């Protein structure tokens, strides 16, 4: 066997000593990166849990708000249960209009604008604009479509995001409005 030149022995010695040091440094960097990734994932998961918890709490509040908002609208936009009875029950309709003009109803509408999903707020605004311009002689099916879109957006905001129903299908159970 021939003897290695001195410079080769120096390189081999340096490589022998440097290899564990370099591997240790890479291991430390890999460990730090892994910890950052895990901490980031943990923070994301915690944020998602908080968002889900908040959404569940808001869903309950939204349902209460939606029920309060819908109560007079159902009376106003529904035909009489028995069409042979008093023409669309004007007493009930007047009560519904009075309710919609009340301070408590407006407070609920204000809550709706703060807590409801964006599309629910948009459709509610369109529905209220419709009522401001309401003309029974011209507005029948148009009003039902607007009301149906409002109901559909409520449906989506409480967990049926992928609903394939259309606005009039939301009101098909009425069947008298056509």
pLDDT digits (tens, 9 = 90+) for 114-148: 989 899 999 999 988 887 776 655 566 787 888 88
Plot region of 90 (φ>0 → left; ψ -120 to 50 → alpha; else → beta) = alpha
pLDDT at 177: 47
Which of 170, 169, 149, 152 minimizes the C-alpha distance to 161? Answer: 152
Note every long-range contact of 83-89, with CB atoms under 8 Å and residues 24 or more positions apart, other chains counting.
83/176
The structure's pTM equals: 0.63
Cα atoms found within 13 Å of the Cα of residue 130, Cβ hemisphere only:
23
- Whether the pLDDT of residue 30 is over 90: the answer is yes
pLDDT at 54: 84
């Amino acid at each position: 066997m021939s003897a290695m030149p001195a410079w080769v022995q120096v390189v081999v010695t340096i490589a022998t000593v440097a290899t564990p040091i370099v591997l240790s440094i890479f291991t430390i960097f890999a460990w730090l990166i892994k910890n950052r990734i895990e901490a980031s994932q943990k923070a994301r998961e915690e944020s998602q849990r908080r968002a889900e918890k908040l959404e569940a709490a808001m869903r309950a509040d939204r349902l209460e708000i939606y029920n309060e908002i819908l109560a007079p609208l159902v009376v106003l936009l529904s035909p009489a249960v028995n069409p042979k009875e008093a023409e669309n029950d004007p007493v009930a309709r007047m009560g519904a209009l009075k309710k919609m003009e009340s301070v408590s109803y407006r407070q609920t509408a204000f809550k709706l604008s703060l807590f409801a999903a964006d599309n629910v707020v948009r459709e509610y605004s369109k529905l209220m604009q419709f009522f401001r311009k309401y003309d029974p002689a011209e507005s029948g099916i148009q009003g039902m479509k607007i009301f149906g879109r409002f109901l559909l957006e409520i449906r989506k905001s409480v967990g049926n995001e992928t609903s394939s129903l259309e606005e009039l299908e939301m009101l098909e159970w009425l069947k008298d409005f056509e």
